[in-house]
Chains A and B, each alone.
Chain A
């Protein structure tokens, strides 16, 4: 049982490049989400999904796309990277949709955009 896995662990991009951050879970959780962590700002929600085929925007969705074709995977796509997207990105899952369940976090991806 691997829990929540994220790849890659580190990535350096040049401005304008695109890439996909991968997130996978083996806990059969319906709810998955992406956060970015910046110093002093806590974690901010980018996008989330309440099940396969269903996604919605969070607090800071601009510049990011997501899709959810399976329960297990929830990739985050940067279409045209900008220095403002330099951050640590965390994927998280939750057993209960909109409810009292706690979230399970992946180990994170540290992204630098130059």
Chain B
């Protein structure tokens, strides 16, 4: 069975500082990896994905994520955080043969001015 772990319930960072939100996964076969963001009382919005190729993928709003196969990780990063980045972030994985997308428990990002 595939699974996703987001070890931090909350990440606090000051505006202008770099941020990292951690994600590790377990899946049979090659993974498709995704990051989604959820603002209060809204549905999830797609940020970025890794399918194949370059291990560093860039997405919306200046976010990027690094795929590390040996560590089975897909951490979300941003060089300079904004207060408006404060939201709930979800990592998700799908194996390349399946129809089911599995989500992590979510990490709340708080960016303080």
Which positions in A face B, CB cutoff 8 Å?
4, 31, 33, 35, 40-45, 48, 50, 56, 58-59, 90, 92, 97-100, 102-108
Contact = CB atoms under 8 A, between A and B. Distances in A.
Interface stretch (B11-19, B72-80, B96-104): B96-104
A102 B90 contact: no
30 contacts: A33-B101, A40-B9, A40-B105, A42-B105, A42-B106, A43-B44, A45-B100, A45-B101, A45-B102, A48-B100, A50-B99, A59-B100, A59-B102, A90-B43, A90-B44, A92-B44, A98-B96, A98-B98, A99-B32, A100-B49, A100-B96, A102-B34, A102-B46, A103-B36, A103-B44, A105-B36, A106-B43, A107-B42, A107-B43, A108-B43
Interface string B79-110: 00000000000100010111111111110000
B90 A100 contact: no
B103 A43 contact: yes
A72 B103 CA distance: 25
